[in-house]
Amino acid sequence: MSVTRKVIALERRLRNCRNVQTLGVRPNLEDYSEGERALMHAAGTVYYPSAFYASLFHTLGKRTFPSWNTYACAQDKIRQSALFSLLGIPHPRTRVFYGPVQKARIREHFRFPFVGKIPRGSALGRGVYLITTPGELHDYCAKTRIAYIQEYLPADRDMRVVVIGGRVVHAYWRICAAGEFRSNLAAGGRVDLAPVPAAARTLAARTAEACGWDDVGVDICRCGEGYGVLEANMKYGLEGFRRAGIDHTQLMETMIANGEI
């Protein structure tokens, strides 16, 4: 594989790729040298530009990787769920309640137990609560102005399917720790490399394409007789790659060199 063609990136995600020049994310455009700004203007694609610069490049019509759609939905469960509903993507029943008046009606729509999440900015399983009593619901609502409530689907595992450039590059199971309902590795979950069903992989790829996400870890669960999308993670960790012996840096080098991303 040739890696002589250099591309530019701002964030550090690709800093170890030999065919990527990482400039860093700086608070002001003027903080970049004249030569660095010229590289941005000349680049066909700016890789990992950060959410701030992605919005600017999107306005200018310059392509970024990940796409602006990907950044726009990062760590925003409300926007993701709305997209799933608009696009007819199967997912657990979810409702959003704004302010104390709407929160008071949560139990009109959900029976215990159900899941409450901090809807924006949370990751790694943080800000996710299994709510089983009125007291736990009260405590959860005190933590967030917007209540994001999702039906609870009892399971001891789910699937993480990573889609990059429209292709499923890795898929694995995440097994919950004993006594824990969250499968996140940061919450004690573990990676299981048993084959992920083809239908789940297909759902993840279809979701990424429909939502315009080109670098995403899609979390899939059993939902009724089929599968549903729990949420999408644009800042997914790489432990699942390491456990499978997949060199993420080499993968990205190759996909860039081949023009896949």
* Interatomic CA distance for residues 236 and 84, integer angstroms: 19
- With vertex at residue 252, the alpha carbon angle to CA 62 and CA 161, rounded to the nearest 5 degrees, is 100
Asked if residue 206 belongs to a domain, the reply is: yes
Strand order, beta sheet including 226-233: 190-192, 167-175, 157-164, 215-223, 226-233
Same domain, 137 and 197: no
Structure tokens belonging to residue 107: 């139990």
How far is Cα of residue 222 from the mean position of the Cα atoms in its chain? 19
Averaged pLDDT for residues 26-54: 97
Confidence of residue 167 (pLDDT cuts 50, 70, 90): very high
Same domain, 172 and 213: yes
**What pLDDT is recorded for position 1?**
44
**What pLDDT is recorded for position 126?**
77
Record the pTM.
0.94
- 11: CB partners within 8 A, 6+ apart: 22, 25, 48, 49, 50
* Interatomic CA distance for residues 9 and 22, integer angstroms: 5
Nearest to 147 by CA among 189, 194, 108: 108
For residue 49, the enclosing domain spans 7-65
Average pLDDT value for the chain:
95
- Domain harbouring 252, CATH code: 3.30.470.20
Asked if residue 85 belongs to a domain, the reply is: no
Same domain, 137 and 177: no
Count of Cβ atoms closer than 10 Å to residue 77 Cβ: 24
Nearest to 89 by CA among 225, 235, 208, 171: 208
Same domain, 121 and 162: no
Asked if residue 17 belongs to a domain, the reply is: yes
The number of domains in the chain is: 3
- With vertex at residue 168, the alpha carbon angle to CA 167 and CA 171, rounded to the nearest 5 degrees, is 170
At what angle are helices 77-87 and 198-211 packed, to 10 degrees?
100
* Interatomic CA distance for residues 165 and 70, integer angstroms: 11
Asked if residue 73 belongs to a domain, the reply is: no
Same domain, 136 and 201: no
DSSP state of 21: E
pLDDT digits 0-9 by tens, 106-140: 999 999 999 999 998 766 557 999 999 999 999 99
Nearest to 173 by CA among 153, 197, 154, 150: 197
Share of the chain above pLDDT 90, in %: 91
Asked if residue 194 belongs to a domain, the reply is: yes
Averaged pLDDT for residues 100-110: 98
Return the exposure string of 88-106: e unless at least 16 CB atoms fall within 10 Å of the residue's CB, then b. Answer: ebebbebbebeeeeebeeb
pLDDT digits 0-9 by tens, 190-209: 999 999 999 999 999 999 99
Domain boundary among 65, 85, 104: 65
Domain boundary among 151, 183, 198: 151
- Domain harbouring 107, CATH code: 3.30.1490.20
